[in-house]
Amino acid sequence: MHLGFWKDLKNTGFVGLSPMDGVTDDIYRTMMAREGAKPIFTEFNAVEGLARNAVKLLEFFEYDGSTERPVVAQVFGIEPESFYSVAVMVAHLGYDGIDINMGCPSKKVEHRGA
């Protein structure tokens, strides 16, 4: 099993930054990274929109590669094909990982089955 950046954080006593919709924007993430938070997570983003070229959603995936490391893209959705497309996109954007949100308490997300 390949653990990627997690193996490097294993014994460091790290503090992770939890993704929070409407809070974890690029400015907040940069501030937290400068304070030592690792890993850095984006706000969650809908895979269906990203897979259908919703360019506006890409703004949520902007990050500062010099300070926000390791950086993880958080996504949610219901279509396996869209998850695959977005995983490829995230890899091309240089992310260190991808997190599939499976426990959002938002009624809007929950009612979609995402």
DSSP state letter for 19: P
- Determine whether 104 is an active site residue: yes
DSSP state letter for 17: P
> Quick one: three-class SS letters along 35-86?
CCCCCEEEEEEEHHHHHCCCHHHHHHHCCCCCCCCCEEEEEECCCHHHHHHH
Q: 104, 106, 107, 113: which is the annotated catalytic residue?
A: 104
What is the set of active-site residues? 104
